[in-house]
Amino acid sequence: MAKQNELAWWQRTIAYEVYPKSFLDTRGQGTGTIAGITAKLDYLQKLGVGAVWITPCYRSPMVDNGYDVADYYQIDPSFGTMDDMDELIARGREHGIRMVMDLVFNHTSEECAWFVESRSSRDNAKADWYIWRDAREDGSAPTNWRSIFGGSAWEWDEGRQQYYLHTFAKQQPDLNWENPEVRQALFDIANYWADKGVGGFRIDAITYIKKPAEFVDGPADGADGMSAVHAATANTPGILDFLHEFKAKVRDGRDIFMVGEANGVSADELDQWVGEQGVFDLLFEFSHTLIPMHPSEVWCRKAEWTLPDLKRALAASQVATATNGWYPAFFENHDQPRSTVNYFQCAGPLAEKAKVLGAVLLTTRGTPFLMQGEELGYGNAPWKSIDEFDDLSTRNQYQFALSEGLDEDGALAACVRYSRDNARTPMQWDASANAGFSSAEPWLPVHDDYATCNVVAQEADPSSVLNWYRKLAALRAERPVFTVGDWTALLVDDEQIMAFERTLDDSRAVTLVNFSDEPAVYDASLVEGLEQLACSQGTSTAGVLRPFEAVIWG
């Protein structure tokens, strides 16, 4: 198939996100290591993975688990050494797996040498490498913007007698991309890693790098009188100029891919962001992840949504990337709750729900991005108290919920439902102590059901979520219709079924999944003349789906 050969390696493969702190601890310290990833390359290869996105493992004070980088040229000692990383890159390539580094370029850690210098005076060489502003006349912050993690987005610096801007935590000062020296310093970092032979980059929080020409108060959107910084600074005109420069100086001429994290970009803008004329190869946009949440992204506010809403959001991205660019298909990442909880509004077995989502991910058009553990079908973790959470945004959402008038139980329930820590609990490898993740007490708890929900147990069970993922990964690799085939939504208004069709020359495949706990009927002529390639519950009858059944015809 000529068309299949025309795809780049990263379009034909499956990508897998590793949260290194929770993947595998080879040192008995309770947190994962780089060597732990190397030790599991066989496991990843069996899952059909060709690209591993590693969340930041650079030297960091770990206020935001590595998204606060102190030195982009060093590995944090808690994860190992640069030799460990070089070894991982090399061993990975032997397994046909390339590493994807996470570039955190909107901000650094306050401990980064650049910031230490920048804050030291108003006239040092890096004085304007960050966003500094004077106080208002009454001494208050320059604007009423609320940071993404809560509280003011401005922090007063005693030394400079000025405020600096932080879109996220106060320990994560925003860089000033207007300064060409800053941009060059960042491109140098990317090139250093590309020269090491990594397969690509995931670019963090990239929609915030361009600040508006004028800084003005936004309309208050919460009881605190503040206005979300996102509304003022996300996807500001002019941002694409910076990113075209990034592409020219880093991406061009290399066999790598760049996937941007683009909260604030919608499907109808994708053509400017991806493809030949765009700036990235792929873009994580979040319209579908926002469906199960209140539009304000405040966890304690109630979300109202239906399956057709979710389908419309997913279809918009498919349509936008049908002829230009490429789509990263995902339900989970380290900032999301587990998808078996997030995308279902009725009770039912987690394993069956996981198979429904797996069928969508692995047969849709685009490169599937799996979050570690998604292939085992975890639910959210059984949090019992706010003190068990590590994530700073969870703590902030808890406080915000209290300030909105919820009681402690209500605030906790919101965190249990949406916390980012749900995706960050340790990988469950086997039934031994701490699920085989570490010989020491893990930094976050493993699930109560780890004795049965783990890799070893699922490998031995032909009907497990893991074996479903492996089966679909193999199907996807064998049949070009699943990679290059066109994508068309079916049954768009159906309230129970998500369905789509893939077509390539004479071949046709249809995926049908039931998101509900009731049987769901559809017109059997949709699958006439097709064979059943995979069914999550034995054998399916054309025209009807059992509760949470997933079937692929082709």
Q: Which residue is nearest to ligand GLC (CB)?
A: 67
Q: Is 42 a catalytic residue?
A: no
Tracing tokens 């982009």 back to the chain, one arrives at 72
Closest C-alpha among 278, 390, 268, 379 to residue 326:
278
Q: Is 181 a catalytic residue?
A: no
Q: 324-343: which residues touch ligand GLC (CB under 6 A)?
A: 334-335
What is the rounded (10 degree) CA torsion for 98, 335, 307, 412? 150
Residue placing its CB nearer to ligand GLC in the complex, 205 or 229: 205
Question: 280 with 258: CB under 8 angstroms?
Answer: yes
Amino acid at 200: G
Among residues 17, 155, 204, 281, which is the contact residue for ligand GLC, using CB under 6 A? 204
Q: Does 168 bind ligand GLC (CB under 6 A)?
A: yes
Distance CA 299, CA 309 (A): 19
Cβ 392 to ligand GLC shortest distance, Å = 8
Distance CA 65, CA 58 (A): 10
What is the rounded (10 degree) CA torsion for 464, 467, 472, 475? -140
Residue placing its CB nearer to ligand GLC in the complex, 70 or 362: 70
Cβ 31 to ligand GLC shortest distance, Å = 16
CB atoms within 10 A of CB 140: 13
Distance CA 159, CA 468 (A): 58
Residue placing its CB nearer to ligand GLC in the complex, 334 or 479: 334
Burial of residue 384 (number of CB atoms within 10 Å: 0-12, 13-18, 19+): exposed
H or E, element range at 213: none
List helix spans (H) across 222-370.
229-233, 239-246, 270-273, 287-290, 307-320, 339-342, 350-363
Cβ 336 to ligand GLC shortest distance, Å = 10
Distance CA 504, CA 486 (A): 6
Closest C-alpha among 382, 356, 381, 360 to residue 369:
360
Residue placing its CB nearer to ligand GLC in the complex, 209 or 510: 209
Per-position x/- string for 255-294, each x denoting binding to ligand GLC as judged by CB under 6 A, each - no binding: ------x---------------------------------
Cβ 150 to ligand GLC shortest distance, Å = 12
Cβ 246 to ligand GLC shortest distance, Å = 17
Annotated catalytic residue within 110, 155, 174, 261 = 261
Facing residues of 520 across strands?
545
Residue placing its CB nearer to ligand GLC in the complex, 203 or 401: 203
Q: Does 17 bind ligand GLC (CB under 6 A)?
A: no
Among residues 10, 23, 58, 67, which is the contact residue for ligand GLC, using CB under 6 A? 67
Residue placing its CB nearer to ligand GLC in the complex, 174 or 501: 174
Cβ 52 to ligand GLC shortest distance, Å = 16
3-class SS of residue 249: helix
Distance CA 234, CA 209 (A): 8
Residue placing its CB nearer to ligand GLC in the complex, 155 or 204: 204
Cβ 293 to ligand GLC shortest distance, Å = 15
Closest C-alpha among 446, 452, 394 to residue 65:
394
Among residues 104, 259, 262, 313, which is the contact residue for ligand GLC, using CB under 6 A? 104
Per-position x/- string for 387-426, each x denoting binding to ligand GLC as judged by CB under 6 A, each - no binding: ----------------------------------------
DSSP codes joined into one string, 32-52 = --HHHHHHTHHHHHHTTEEEE
Tracing tokens 């000529």 back to the chain, one arrives at 2
Residue placing its CB nearer to ligand GLC in the complex, 64 or 281: 64
Annotated catalytic residue within 25, 174, 204, 374 = 204
Per-position x/- string for 35-64, each x denoting binding to ligand GLC as judged by CB under 6 A, each - no binding: -----------------------------x
What residues contact residue 541 under an 8 Å CB cut-off, 6+ apart?
none
Number of residues that bind ligand GLC (CB under 6 A): 9
Among residues 44, 100, 101, 205, which is the contact residue for ligand GLC, using CB under 6 A? 205
Closest C-alpha among 141, 254, 273 to residue 190:
254
Cβ 203 to ligand GLC shortest distance, Å = 10
Task: Report the catalytic residues.
Answer: 204, 261
Residues that bind ligand GLC (CB under 6 A): 64, 67, 104, 168, 204-205, 261, 334-335
